[in-house]
Amino acid sequence: MSDVVERTLTALPGLLSLDLQTGAGKLSSTSKLGNLIRSITELTSKHDEEKLIKRELAAIKEQVSSPNTTMRQMKETMVRSIYCEMLGYEADFTYIHAIKLAQQGSVLEKRVGYLAVSLFLNENHELLLLLVNTVLKDLQSTNLIEVCMALTVVSQIFPRDMIPAILPLVEEKLNHPKEIIRRKAVQALHKFYLIAPNQVQHIHSKFRKALCDKDPGVMAASLHIYLQMIKESADSYRDLAGSFVTILKQVVGGKLPVDYNYHSVPAPWVQIQLLRILALLGKDDQSTSELMYDVLDESIRRAEINHNITYAILFECVKTIYTIHPKEELLEKAAKCIGNFVLSPKINLKYLGLKALTYVVQQDANLALQHQMTIIECLDHSDIIIKRETLELLFRITNAQNVTVIVEKMLDFLRLCHEDYAIIDLVAKVAELAEKYAPDNRWFIETMSTIFTVGGELMQPDIPSNFLRLLAEGSDSVEDDRLLRTYAVDSYVSLLQTNPTKLPQRFLQVISWVLGEYSHLVDDLSPCLVIDLLVRLLERPAVASDTRSWVMTAVGKLSTGAGGGTGAGGGTAEGGAGLVQRVSQQHSSSLDTQLRQQALELQLLSQDPELHTRVLPRGAVWGSLEVDSSLSFLDGFVSEALARGAAPYKPPHQRQEELRQEKALSLEPYALSLPISLSSCSIADRQSPTLLSISSGLSGNSTELPHRAGSGSLKLEGVKRVWGKDGYLPQREVPEGPSILQEASAPAPQTFPQQGGALTPPSADPSEEDRDKQQLASSLFVGLSSHNSTCLMGKPEAPVPQRFRRKHKNTDSASASSSSDSSHSPHDAANHFLYSSLLEEGPASPIMLAQNSLAPPKRTEANGTHTRGDTPVLPTANGVAEVGDQEAPPSLTMANEEAPSPGVGRHRDPPLLMGGMKLVQPCPPHPAPRASTQSSAEGADPPQLPELPPEPDHLPPELRNLPHSDMAPLASDQSLSLSCCRVHREDALVLVLQMSNACGAALLDVSVELQCHELKVASLRGNALESLPAQSVRVCWYTLLMEAPHTHVMVTGSVSYREESGPSHALEISSKLSLADFLRPLVLSTEEYGKLWLSLSQDVKQNLTLLDPDGDPLCSSLSVLKDKLQLHVVDIIGSEGIVACKLLQGAPCLLHCRVHAGALAVWLRSPVPGLPDCLLYHLQRALQER
Amino acid sequence: MIKAILIFNNHGKPRLSKFYEHYSEDTEQQIIRETFHLVSKRDENVCNFLEGGILIGGSDNKLIYRHYATLYFVFCVDSSESELGILDLIQVFVETLDKCFENVCELDLIFHVDKVHNILGEMVMGGMVLETNMNEIITQVDSQNKMEKSEAGIAGAPARAVSAVKNMNLPEMPKNINIGDISIKVPNMPSFK
């Protein structure tokens, strides 16, 4: 080969000069490129190259700026500058000439011009605007090649703002007779879709046409767009699933021209693309998935030829099969394919096999078990990439039982690894595993130490801070905490004593913090020793200045220990104090201002022990520090500033949003279900600036946990765990799962009786080495089968105590129980109502309670069935009649879920009083101003209370089971009395108006009119009656919807009627409805919440008072809010809770609540401007009333 | 999508670089160096996939490469591309180059950077695989070449030079890229990395 090279090189100059002679002056420019290349090859150093290129660039500059340069010479110059740019030398002066060349040159020169433009410029380059006209002109050209070039450049780079200018022309090209033009047009539109999805929304139908194009190339190009769009919202395109299946069938069946075959596989890339689309469409959708089974089967069957590209298709098939709704046959085939991959001698396939295993292992852990020996072999593979992928797989199957082995393997790898990105990634994973599954303190601290040592400065900064937080916040057991901390101190002291020089800065910071905070926990550790160790750190030149300040702080914390020891300890403590003095003096003149300040502080503190205890209290309870992150102490300042006319503060994203709205041409709002995934928005910033800024804000708060979990995982886009109790897994598991556990030491093949010989690893004669491996296997895969059995039995996770359970987990479970367990939440609601009725009715209530306690069980039973609403035929009428006969109306609201007995009532059990409110919306009865005044006036005398006739429940049966308020009297006269009740239907608020005729004669022509400007009112039935018979009751109902948010709305109306032989009368009614009546819980997952949160623009923040500050403030406050306002508590994560609700048939509103400094910091977001404010008002009310 | 396509020789000299995402000039050069550093130390008998370096996006991105004689062809792709698919796409690309240049060699790439870019442009547009049908690509390139010939020879000259080199006395021409590296004399390699 070197022979060849030499010949080439020696021949080159001669050949070039030969050209020179023949081509005369015209070719002189050619030789310039030749000369350049030749001289570069002759150079001996980087420095020379730099000099040469500089000279060359100068020459180019001169040439391009000369007016005599022809376009042809320009083209040649452009090629040279492309060459220089490729070598990394900037030739920005040629950019403008590249554009000029594209504009003015002949076809050939134009092509070089366009090429140079697409290589030199980026999307945001200002010069790109100059290209727009050229592109426009070329798009209209009759020369196909020019059109092609224009489309190519458009799909490479084009200024986003100028898309509207050329969009019609590009669209037009979709109908061009030439396939190549159509194809490029589709590609250009794809580009537009990526950078400005709004602008191509109107041409979605044309994409469909492209998909059906008779040219396979155009169809293939359109698949890119579809893949993108389906990724964003699969639901909108499910109807196309059939088409994609048909296309794939045709492709697989070889219906495409032979040209598209690659190694006799028909259009493999199109197949891959289609399989991906199908996976997205079939996910979580059984009926769509069913369409695909045949073609998937066919694809697997056809992909038999032993070639790379068929494996690519197979791999894609496997992924699709595991993503869509499962079908057993296909799964078996897919599992076999994975087996073939993993066992393949071809290393590329092995890699893919491991990747596929990683992908499916969470659903089908058995597959990993089957291949455990191969996996073990891969751990020691010579290819580092294979090792990495194996570790990734192991990371997926880690559990409390195999964590030590797996982490050990990972650390082994880390110690030998030199790739930064691999270290960063793996260190984060080990830290996650260690925190999750650590078997004991010692292991945990040692593992973390290794992580800090290996990870060094590379690792994510949140790893050390999480570790410190874990130490600081502690767990539920004080003793455990103490042991953990003591162990940490011990191990760090010995680390510092042996060899601190090699420790990375981050680790030193961790060490100094821990020593400063907790070294006093270790009894036999003298503070002087620790201070001495720390001070020695300060003296090392390699210690960075920010580490120094960590060390200084630690010394500061320890200095009392040293000073305080004077009384007891004697001489040594003196030494400690002296040391502190010395250090502070030494650094009080340091050039580093930070350090100097700390030294001076230290000096002061060490002289004044009292001050010291105040500033740095020992063993201060974590969390007792109050940081007012809402900066409420500035409120006064802010309001003053506002009074002086300052503009109110707007959060950055809101400002940007406004800016964007001002600038943007298109004002159409983003769709509610904005289909951005969190991960994608960080990469592609095409949505809106808001998203980015919010995502950073959010990740700091509520979604931190899901985020972190997501970051460590493969991007599997939420593969659903479709293998349920009676799914596919159990049938395989039953024979295999348990046997692995039992026969862990037995040779592996025996555990897989069903597998063909080809699949089982050959270990017929278990040599020593094999036995080692099998032991490793048994330790690695130990947890897997038990994990499976838990799925199988539907039992909760095996009782492996998670070691470092943070405290807040409790609140989590508490909230879960309060939301799931129905007996809890009504309790709160009942409490609330008890109090509110106490307030309203004053002295009446004790008597009511007394009555309750006397209430016969039978009655409560009747009410109980009523409230539960589980019997279709309700004995309501009877029950109510009885009630009405026997007792006072308050008892109407009584019911008790928990089999009521008089005894319970005697204990004044609130649920007894208010059990009826389980269904009834527990908000204060707004529409009953009169009723409440009445009761307060007359409440002192209960027997007189039923002045109004007892109100039997005349709710229509279809509404009876829905949550509803009590019937509240509205108005009455001698013949007609009106009352109303609010029923919370899923889709609307139903206002039921009950008209009861109290007089002896029938009333005629009763008609009801109801109006409210703020609401959308629809009458359902019964608003006009011909007659209302004597002593009878009729209801009419209205559905109400609130379109724009209001805190309260007044509904007014009138009921007119005519007495049989008398004049007509009219009764005015009015009722006040609150926003809370129009709210419904919005049930979504944390992830959906996160997405939605980012897409909302209107936000409001406020601090609210907390309930129950001693117990569990967040949970109790949230459950109160949940019950009063019908919110849905999405998740509670530590001291933060996320809550969602929506306005009826309308906008969502998301709340992010955080307990902070004794207050509940609420952050509301909604797409509708007024909603957060209105909701906030009700939140405040709800919490105050409590 | 494809983030970048890089071709460099055994010494890390870039022969073609095409980025489908915007990076600054410096970053691009660093990416080329980093990628070369990662790829060049791989043995022959290991897999053709690598995790991308930090600059190109870490473990979210893959480097998929093939090594032909003196040249490395590296595609940096994100997780949405099929690894084996890209691996064969590289093969298609090289075969196409081979057909267009009649036994392609490193010199072809140097002298015809623009042409190589144009061929690539037919295959990959804006980071998306546009065409994988070799005949179709060649038809497109040929139609442009015809136009080129009609405009006569500037660019033809180096082509002639190269083909003259090739036809001089190289009896057995391997199928793909084969002719050696013309920058082989450059010493002080470390300074180039």
Q: Which of residues 63 through 92 in chain A touch B, CB cutoff 8 A?
A: 72, 75-76, 79, 82-83, 85-88, 90
**Under-70 pLDDT residues of chain B:** 54, 57-59, 148-193
Nearest residue in B to A256, CA atom: B133
Return the DSSP state at A646: P
Is any Cβ of chain B less than 8 angstroms from the Cβ of A27?
yes
B188 assigned to some structural domain: no
pLDDT attached to residue A274:
92
The Cα–Cα gap between A664 and A657 comes to 10
The Cα–Cα gap between A58 and A56 comes to 5
Cβ-based neighbours of A1116, under 8 Å, separated by 6 or more: A828, A1107, A1108
The Cα–Cα gap between A88 and B24 comes to 11
Cβ B66 vs Cβ B87: under 8 Å: yes
Per residue in A958-993, pLDDT tens? Answer: 777 777 777 788 888 878 888 888 888 777 788 888
Name the residue among A112, A276, A386 with its Cβ closest to that of B47: A386
| Subunit contact B46:A12, Cβ cutoff 8 A | no
| Subunit contact A2:B154, Cβ cutoff 8 A | no
The Cα–Cα gap between A734 and A741 comes to 12
**Any bridge partners for residue A1098, and if so which?**
A1166
- How many structural domains compose chain B? 1
B66 assigned to some structural domain: yes
Cβ-based neighbours of A933, under 8 Å, separated by 6 or more: none
ipTM greater than 0.90: no
CA distance A121 to chain B (A): 9
The beta-strand segments (E) located in A956-1014 are 968-972, 976-984, 989-997, 1003-1011
**Any bridge partners for residue A1139, and if so which?**
A1129, A1151
| Subunit contact A385:B157, Cβ cutoff 8 A | no
**Any bridge partners for residue A1153, and if so which?**
A1137, A1162
Which conformational region is residue B48 in: left (phi greater than 0), alpha (psi within -120 to 50 degrees), or beta? alpha
B110 assigned to some structural domain: yes
Cβ A1016 vs Cβ A1041: under 8 Å: yes
pTM of the predicted model as reported, rounded to 2 decimal places: 0.58
- Interhelix angle for B113-123 vs A107-120, to 10°? 80
The Cα–Cα gap between B121 and A148 comes to 11
Name the residue among A37, A312, A419 with its Cβ closest to that of B85: A312
DSSP output for A670-691: PPSS----HHHHHH-TTS-HHH
Cβ A426 vs Cβ A460: under 8 Å: no
| Subunit contact B161:A309, Cβ cutoff 8 A | no
pLDDT attached to residue A1094:
76
The Cα–Cα gap between A463 and A317 comes to 38
Write the secondary structure of A47-116 as one string of H (helix), E (strand) and C (coil): HHHHHHHHHHHHHHHHHHHCCCCCHHHHHHHHHHHHHHHHCCCCCHHHHHHHHHHHHHCCHHHHHHHHHH
B193 assigned to some structural domain: no
B161 assigned to some structural domain: no
**Any bridge partners for residue A990, and if so which?**
A983, A1039
Cβ B3 vs Cβ B19: under 8 Å: yes
Taking CB atoms and an 8 Å cutoff, what residues of chain B touch A88?
Answer: 14, 25-26, 28-29, 32
CA A714 from chain center: how many Å?
15
| Subunit contact A385:B50, Cβ cutoff 8 A | yes
Name the residue among A183, A309, A386 with its Cβ closest to that of B88: A309
Closest CA to B3 of B43, B70, B60, B71: B60
| Subunit contact A351:B60, Cβ cutoff 8 A | no
First to last CA, chain A: 88
B175 assigned to some structural domain: no
**Any bridge partners for residue A892, and if so which?**
none
| Residue in the block written with tokens 């075969």 | B95
Per residue in A385-442, pLDDT tens? Answer: 888 888 888 888 888 888 888 888 888 888 888 777 788 888 888 888 888 888 888 8
Closest CA to A980 of A1003, A959, A1004, A1001: A959
Cβ-based neighbours of A47, under 8 Å, separated by 6 or more: none
What are A981's two structure tokens? 């009740």
**Residue numbers of the domain that contains B44:** 2-148
* CATH code where residue B131 lies: 3.30.450.60
Nearest residue in A to B190, CA atom: A46
Closest CA to B163 of A28, A12, A23: A12
Write the secondary structure of A720-736 as one string of H (helix), E (strand) and C (coil): CCCCCCCCCHHHHHHHH
What are A980's two structure tokens? 């109303």
What is the three-class DSSP state of A610? helix
How many C-beta neighbours within 10 Å does residue B112 have? 21
**Any bridge partners for residue A1042, and if so which?**
A1015
CA distance A502 to chain B (A): 25
Continuous segment of H or E residues that includes residue A798: none
The beta-strand segments (E) located in chain B are 2-9, 14-19, 49-51, 62-68, 71-77, 124-125, 128-129
Is any Cβ of chain B less than 8 angstroms from the Cβ of A162?
no
Name the residue among A86, A112, A148 with its Cβ closest to that of B17: A86
Closest CA to A555 of A587, A523, A527: A527
User: What does pLDDT average to in each consecutive run of 10 residues of chain A (1186 residues)?
Assistant: 38 40 38 76 79 88 84 85 86 87 85 89 84 89 87 87 87 88 90 84 82 87 90 86 90 86 87 91 88 89 81 90 88 87 87 88 78 84 85 85 86 83 84 85 87 82 85 77 85 82 84 85 79 82 82 81 43 61 80 83 80 70 60 82 82 70 48 40 38 37 38 37 36 37 39 39 52 73 51 37 46 40 40 40 38 40 40 38 40 38 38 35 41 39 40 65 78 81 80 80 80 74 74 80 79 80 78 82 82 76 73 79 81 83 80 79 80 80 75
Is any Cβ of chain B less than 8 angstroms from the Cβ of A180?
yes
Q: To probe the interface with A, which of B13, B90, B125, B162 has the most A CB atoms within 10 Å?
A: B125
Q: Is the dihedral of CA A685, A688, A689, A690 positive or negative?
A: negative
B191 assigned to some structural domain: no
Q: To probe the interface with B, which of A3, A8, A180, A350 has the most B CB atoms within 10 Å?
A: A8
What are A1053's two structure tokens? 């109306």
Nearest residue in A to B163, CA atom: A15
| Subunit contact A385:B147, Cβ cutoff 8 A | no
B178 assigned to some structural domain: no
| Subunit contact B154:A43, Cβ cutoff 8 A | no
Cα atoms in the 13 Å half-sphere on the side-chain side of A945: 25
Q: Name residue A370's amino acid.
A: Q
Closest CA to A983 of A1001, A957, A964: A964
| Subunit contact A425:B58, Cβ cutoff 8 A | yes
Cβ A52 vs Cβ A42: under 8 Å: no
pLDDT attached to residue A500:
67
